Chains A and B, each alone.
Chain A
Amino acid sequence: MHNTYKTNVEIDWCPGCGDFGILNALTLALQDLRIPNENVVLTGGIGCSSKIPHYVNVYALHTLHGRSLVQGEAVKMANPELEVISVSGDGDGLGIGSAHLVAAGRRNLDMTYMIFDNGVYGLTKGQASPTLPYKENIKSLETENIKFPVNPIFLALASGYTFVARSYSYNIKHLKETIERAIRHKGMALIDIMQPCVTYNNINTKEFYDKRLYDLEASGWNPVVNKGDDPSVKISQAVQRSMEWGDKIPMGVFIQYERETYAERLSTLIHGYGTRNMVKEPIDQNGKPVANIQEVMESFF
């Protein structure tokens, strides 16, 4: 079947870049889910990965460095009927945009956040990013990395994400399925995608991941919290699994549970929120405002 989710814009990623696999998996997932193109909004930040909105034939917001997720959240709040997917690089999402990453967990909007995780700031020539392991000395660095890495899975679990997964850009089948599960999940979903940078990161390469990544769920882990169960028990087990890094690295879904979405909570404050479409609601009639403020003015007499 023809992939109607790709644009014909020329792609400027390096040959062999892990981003290509993510682009393919994402557009295949959208194709599978049959979401009309015009109902999807894709946001990106700044960096190689964040250019992906240009390559996907949906409404695209190429935002500022670190602001992909927060803009995606606002799109979802403004029009909950839209399917919103935000993408970031690890620098974009876990460095400059980390405040939004944490706050998004607290909101739990029904949307998807994908982090293209390659350990480097590619577009600025390979500086260490927040996920580059301690003491690694990849070829683009002058000195070894003296900072500890952040653990995106652990951070997402702690922040309240109700769906947290890891996948891999060279395993398109797994990634496509994970994206579909994330989109179907009702709540804030995060996918941390292992994505080798062929130009600057000569340690966390395809060879590195191919022999280390194993399927967490195939090995017996069930990430789903049954409805009505307290998720905290499974979250703490998931935290433990998130600490695995070394010869064996787990990929798959770490946690999935249901909790009130932000739309549901907003509807308790704003009557009818989520049932009315604020975008389509007219605010004027032949240029005259629809809102009647007479009573409000009189409240100040």
Chain B
Amino acid sequence: MKKDLNLMVAGPQGSGINFTSDTFAKVMARQGYYVYTNAELFSTIKGDHSYFRVRVSDQKIESYSERVDILIPLDAKSVIIHKGEVSDDGMIISEEKVDDKRFATISYRKILESVATKFNKNVSELNVMKNTVSLAAALKIVGIESKNLKDVITENFASRKIIAEMNNAVVDEVYNEFSFNKTFSLPPVEKKKRMLINSAEAVGMGKVLAGMKFQSYYPITPASDESNYLETLMDKYGFVVEQTEDEIAAINMAIAAANTGLRSSTSTSGPGFDLMVEALSYSGMTETPVVIFYYQRAGPSTGMPTRHEQGDLKFATTASHGEFPRVILTPGDNTEAFYDAVDSFNIAEHYQLPVIVLLDKSMAMSNTTTEVFDLSGVRIDRGKLVLNETSNYKRYKLTEDGISPRTVPGVKGGIFTIAGDEHEEDGHIFSEDPDNRIIMMNKRMGKMNLILKEIGENKKVKFYGKPENKKVILSWGSPKGAIKDALESFPDISFLQVRMIEPFPSEEVMKYLKGKYVIDIEQNYSGQLADLLREKTGIVVDSRILKFNGRPMAYEELMDAIKKAQTEKKVVLSYA
């Protein structure tokens, strides 16, 4: 079993809980430990109860734990809500003396007063530094030298030196004053540089590498983090990030920019994607290479905007009127999200169609230590893009593979007409000829088989474990982390991760699932992938493990569920 340490910071939204947990995570990651964080926050700016978890281990971890070793409660309510989760030999950092051996008392007031005096300040001005008191106490108990914390604080407040100095004085004071009768020691690790990132940042980096030049978005949780991150890079790399008047504008702008010759994308969540659907079918009809990053959250309607769910798989595969080809990729971690960001543009431009990449709230908001991306194999494929003068040009020219050369405005001799109405090779719409309709439907829809043929198995599915195992877990997207962590205790169960949902890789999936006891694991109410599997392959899963309470899976509850799923048809998880 892995040795791990679990910290929880809980308190009112806006009280600095993310500063505390992020800094703890950063310090531990820099020591060379693996870190996974989970953010549970309320859809509000200030006030409501939120909590962040940080799991740390000497070995790779990809999910959070139910067990809390150190609790930092930033108000009394947090103690009441979370003390039950703290293990018997855990620690609760608190200002009050309580008759409970888990409570480690520290006088915030005394420490802050002492620092205030040194800096000739009123103690009330230092109230916000209570977070630093608890943070320093936690890190001291874990055996981390104060310098490591102070370095991160100094970087965080680089533009406000005096704030950094005061916080660091608080750290010194805590390290001198605070002691507890237990320590939480993790096995020593070698220092190794890893990124501490979430998938929104991974996607942002992937888009930059892919040469994305136009990103449009309308603010929505949890998708806008990606666009806001890209805004910090647009000057350096020379691309446009445009906040639009609504999601309809966002997708239409991305489509038009793509037809002007830029690699273009938009990012959104369920309610925003709803509004984009008409234009999605336009991009299919017009063979426009547009990329949509779709961060799912708990629906329907406004649902739970800051909570996790994988409820939109079926919707993404069928959204729109009419039939047209689309590709849907489903990354399950930061590294996959990064490479999918590059692939999505390559696929979109090569096959001239919309590509949707499905992520979710958990991926967008969980910071995970991630190895530096290996860029040696990354390639750009712009397909049949024509940027030089041409002649006798027809935008929808019939070709052997169904993909036509694509010019962009400004190219001499390449004038095109693009239309969402059914059109002929020249893009004009006035015949509505029934034979032409068949030809054009075949041209577009034929891309689906081409994609299944040309895209390699490693981009369609990933298989983990021994092929001879009789039981196989089936899943997609973010549950991957908890599944991998849980499966360490089940060497006789394998795991098939579906990486491309549309077109559905039936052949590869059947190869791994036929004749096996299949356990489907998803974060939704019905088991949408299991239903899709039956539709596409006829395979009926034997058991479904489902979670739809808005929180991602802890690996322990999943271990229990996997045990049950070997005899029960359905197991519903509820840990929060």
* A71, B428: Cβ atoms closer than 8 Å: no
Nearest CB of B to A208, in Å: 31
* A62, B429: Cβ atoms closer than 8 Å: yes
Where chain A touches its partner, the secondary structure class is mixed
CA distance A67 to B216 in the complex (A): 15
Given known contacts A64-B252, A103-B245, A283-B263, A301 and B415 CB-to-CB distance under 8 angstroms: no
Report chain B residues within 8 Å CB of A1. Answer: none
* A290, B211: Cβ atoms closer than 8 Å: yes
Report chain A residues within 8 Å CB of B235. Answer: 269-271
Q: Which residue in A12, A64, A79 is a CB contact (below 8 Å) of B409?
A: A79
Given known contacts A10-B430, A103-B244, A74 and B257 CB-to-CB distance under 8 angstroms: yes
* B417, A70: Cβ atoms closer than 8 Å: no
Given known contacts A54-B428, A290-B211, A278 and B239 CB-to-CB distance under 8 angstroms: yes
Interface membership of A59, Cβ < 8 A: yes
In chain B, what residue has the closest Cβ to A104? B245
The number of chain A residues touching the other chain, given as a range, is 35 or more
Given known contacts A38-B411, A59-B415, A288 and B379 CB-to-CB distance under 8 angstroms: yes
* A100, B420: Cβ atoms closer than 8 Å: no
* A102, B257: Cβ atoms closer than 8 Å: no
B window 384-398: CB within 8 A of A? 387
CA distance A54 to B196 in the complex (A): 52
Interface membership of A218, Cβ < 8 A: no
Interface membership of B256, Cβ < 8 A: yes
CA distance A247 to B420 in the complex (A): 41
* B252, A63: Cβ atoms closer than 8 Å: yes
CA distance A10 to B426 in the complex (A): 14
A window 27-73: CB within 8 A of B? 36-39, 41, 43, 51, 53-54, 57-64, 66-67, 70-73
Given known contacts A99-B245, A301-B194, A12 and B430 CB-to-CB distance under 8 angstroms: yes
Interface membership of A81, Cβ < 8 A: yes
CA distance A192 to B31 in the complex (A): 65
Stretch at the interface among A113-121, A250-258, A292-300: A292-300
Given known contacts A99-B246, A273-B240, A297-B372, A53 and B417 CB-to-CB distance under 8 angstroms: yes
Binary per-residue interface labels of chain B (237-268) against chain A in the complex, 1 for a CB within 8 Å, 0 otherwise: 11110101110110011111101111110000
CA distance A103 to B278 in the complex (A): 20
* A280, B387: Cβ atoms closer than 8 Å: yes
* A54, B209: Cβ atoms closer than 8 Å: no
Nearest CB of B to A46, in Å: 8
Report chain B residues within 8 Å CB of A297. Answer: 195, 205, 372-373
* B379, A287: Cβ atoms closer than 8 Å: yes
* A64, B279: Cβ atoms closer than 8 Å: yes
Max chain B CB contacts within 10 Å: which of A41, A64, A276, A291? A291
CA distance A291 to B264 in the complex (A): 16
Binary per-residue interface labels of chain A (78-102) against chain B in the complex, 1 for a CB within 8 Å, 0 otherwise: 1101100000000000000001101
* B429, A41: Cβ atoms closer than 8 Å: no
Q: Which residue in B30, B249, B278 is a CB contact (below 8 Å) of A100?
A: B249
CA distance A284 to B378 in the complex (A): 11
* B234, A278: Cβ atoms closer than 8 Å: no
CA distance A136 to B285 in the complex (A): 39
Q: Which residue in A57, A74, A266, A296 is a CB contact (below 8 Å) of B208?
A: A296
In chain A, what residue has the closest Cβ to B234? A270
Q: Which residue in A9, A63, A270, A287 is a CB contact (below 8 Å) of B239?
A: A270
Given known contacts A9-B428, A10-B430, A70-B249, A38 and B409 CB-to-CB distance under 8 angstroms: yes
In chain B, what residue has the closest Cβ to A101? B245
Q: Which residue in B197, B216, B238, B256 is a CB contact (below 8 Å) of A75?
A: B256
* A62, B419: Cβ atoms closer than 8 Å: yes
Report chain B residues within 8 Å CB of A266. Answer: 240
Nearest CB of A to B225, in Å: 14
In chain B, what residue has the closest Cβ to A282? B211
CA distance A28 to B258 in the complex (A): 30
Interface membership of A233, Cβ < 8 A: no
